[in-house]
Amino acid sequence: MPDPRGPARYDATSAGRTSHRAAPGTEPGSTGVRTAAAAALSRLRPLLGSRGLALGSAVAGEAEAGPAGPFERAQARAMPAPRRDDFLAGRCAARRALTGADLPAGEILRDGRKPVFPSGSVGSISHDGGLAVAVAARAERYAALGCDLELRGLPLAAAHLVLTPEERAWTASAPDEAQAWWHLLRAFCAKEAAYKVFSVLLPEEQVPVTLLGIGARPVAGGFQVWPGSRPDRLLAVEVRAVARGAFAWTMVAGRERARWGRVEADPA
């Protein structure tokens, strides 16, 4: 899905919480923010564990974030350096999540842009600002997972690219600009996580093309999210603050797969 932040997606300092200059060490892609975000993600492990999910994280460029086999090595070799580091960190985070779930943790293949987790498992990967995170679970329990990490956010001027008029009205109702930015970031993060589930479980013709094709309604702890073409396909997406950003996750139970409409099971 096209990123509303444009070609600067892999420039970790290209977009911040506000237009003001950040203090040293607090820029969205800085070591300080990555460290704080990784610690915040770690504190979410018990909550995710109570949902049957395991979480892994990795920093782009860390020693353990290397290819696990020939497929990952070939994929990484074809990528520019920033994308390569994110790709390998994401795979490392996924293997750590799989290990945490007591599942086999080998190479993570790809189907287009979607990661293909080992047989018997489902998972999702996200990365931003040099930090990667993944969630994994047993396929017998969940049909699909989606997660999203956002450390940089979006400028409020970009709200029309990702929010419907009703959603923008909710953002505009915030008491100040900082809260409006947080509303936008949470909704953006929730939609990104939900899209990963929609792309797995919905028939291809029903998968939203942009985030404007996804509806979101704020609820306690996150959002109810649905594809615009199928308002009956509601997802509960949980969102939590992570350093200066947000982390969202969602899942669909294995017994629910058939009602989503995709004929063939998708391992990602």
**Residue 261: per-residue pLDDT:** 73
**Residue 3: per-residue pLDDT:** 60
**Residue 8: per-residue pLDDT:** 29
**Residue 16: per-residue pLDDT:** 30
Query: Can you list the residues of the chain whose pLDDT is less than 50?
Result: 6-26, 263-268
**Residue 7: per-residue pLDDT:** 31
Q: What is the pTM of this model?
A: 0.88
SS (H, E, C) the chain: CCCCCHHHHHCCCCCCCCCCCCCCCCCCCCHHHHHHHHHHHHHCHHHHHHCCCEEEEEECCCCCCCCCCHHHHHHHHCCCHHHHHHHHHHHHHHHHHHHHCCCCCCCCEEECCEEECCCCEEEEEEEECCEEEEEEEECCCEEEEEEEEECCCCCHHHHHHHCCHHHHHHHHCCCCHHHHHHHHHHHHHHHHHHHHHHHHHCCHHHCCCCHHHEEEEEECCEEEEEECCCCCCCEEEEEEEECCEEEEEEEEEHHHHHHHCCCCCCCC
**Residue 29: per-residue pLDDT:** 64
Note whether 127 and 58 are within 8 A (CB).
no
- Residue 73: CB atoms within 10 A of its CB come to 13
